[in-house]
Amino acid sequence: MGSSSDFSPARAGANALFGWLAAQARDGAPFVLATVTDTGGSTPRLAGAMMGITSTGQSGTIGGGAFEHHVIAEARALLAAPGRSTSVVDVHLVRDLGMCCGGKMTAFLNKTEPAPSLWIFGAGHVGSELAPLAQRAGFQVTVVDARAEWADAVRFPEGVEVVDAEPDDLLKGRRPGPHAYVVVTTHSHALDEQLVGALSVEPPAYTGLIGSRAKWARFRARLSERGVPAAFLDAVRSPVGLDIGAVTPAEIAVSIVAELVAVRRAARPGEG
């Protein structure tokens, strides 16, 4: 067992940063790790200092002040730039940023885009076809169903999380998160509607609902009457999946995964 002399502020800070980065990865949130790679003269931090940055927050520090502010801005520009994964910030603190320190600093920025999480509510025929296909397409898959005979891990590939629980109960303590993708395909229309309403409280990046246009029209009218925001209802994909004339559960799964990939890659089907 370690003693108090084992404590290191640098180590504690690194542990907090890496824990924060791990949490972003679990949530499927893209992040940038900024590392100071070179310094010269008087600088607030030395080479090796690190911080993590997302589009809405950050953890750790590379010195604070104008340099850190500049790196955060560059990191968020990198997060918003498709096709780019790295960047270098190389500045003189006085000449370029007006800081009183007399040195210069270089930071390397590396963008990481974790595998997005996909929650499938419903382990039936479509859900069981969708899970392995989505996993092969690069999604971290969680399947939720309260029917024990369907929520059986042996029905799904290794790596797919299977949760035997009432979906609406699960959402009271565990939510997909703003970067997650969600497909609602349960055995019950009432449960489908209830889940869509519950997801509106903290909307995921994507919400898809299986069923006909008529089903969604009825759901939408009732959910709107209950105060679900129109912006969320406008974003729900229903019928879920690209229109490829799918009929069988396997074909429907193909259409859904195609739409998931199109949304993830910000692509428009049919355009080169």
Q: What is the mean pLDDT of residues 13-21?
A: 85
CB 28 within 8 A of CB 180: yes
Residue of 172 and 208 predicted with greater confidence: 208
Give the separation between CA 234 and CA 215, rounded to whole angstroms.
15
Q: pLDDT band for 7, please (50, 70, 90 cuts).
A: very low
Is the pLDDT score of 97 beyond 80?
no
Alpha helices by DSSP H, listed for the chain, are 9-27, 65-79, 125-136, 167-173, 189-199, 213-225, 230-235, 249-264
Tens of pLDDT, residues 238-248? 999 999 999 99
One-letter identity of residue 199: L
Domains of the chain, each with CATH number or no CATH: 4-112 (no CATH), 117-264 (3.40.50.720)
CB 58 within 8 A of CB 46: no
Mean of the per-residue pLDDT values of the chain: 89
The confidence score (pLDDT) of residue 2 equals 43
CB 163 within 8 A of CB 170: yes
Is the pLDDT score of 272 beyond 50?
no
User: Nearest to residue 180, comparing CAs of 253, 242, 121?
Assistant: 121
Q: pLDDT band for 28, please (50, 70, 90 cuts).
A: confident
Is the pLDDT score of 269 beyond 70?
no
Tens of pLDDT, residues 39-90? 988 888 899 999 999 998 999 999 878 889 999 999 999 999 888 999 999 8
User: Nearest to residue 26, comparing CAs of 134, 152, 180?
Assistant: 180
Taking CB atoms within 8 Å and a gap of at least 24, the contacts of 87-93 are: 89/34, 91/67, 93/41, 93/43, 93/66, 93/67
Q: pLDDT band for 172, please (50, 70, 90 cuts).
A: confident
User: Nearest to residue 133, comparing CAs of 29, 246, 261?
Assistant: 261
Q: pLDDT band for 107, please (50, 70, 90 cuts).
A: very high
The confidence score (pLDDT) of residue 178 equals 87
Q: pLDDT band for 271, please (50, 70, 90 cuts).
A: very low
The confidence score (pLDDT) of residue 268 equals 53
The confidence score (pLDDT) of residue 11 equals 59
Which DSSP string corresponds to 177-192? -TT-EEEE--S-HHHH
Q: pLDDT band for 270, please (50, 70, 90 cuts).
A: very low
Q: What is the mean pLDDT of residues 10-31?
A: 82
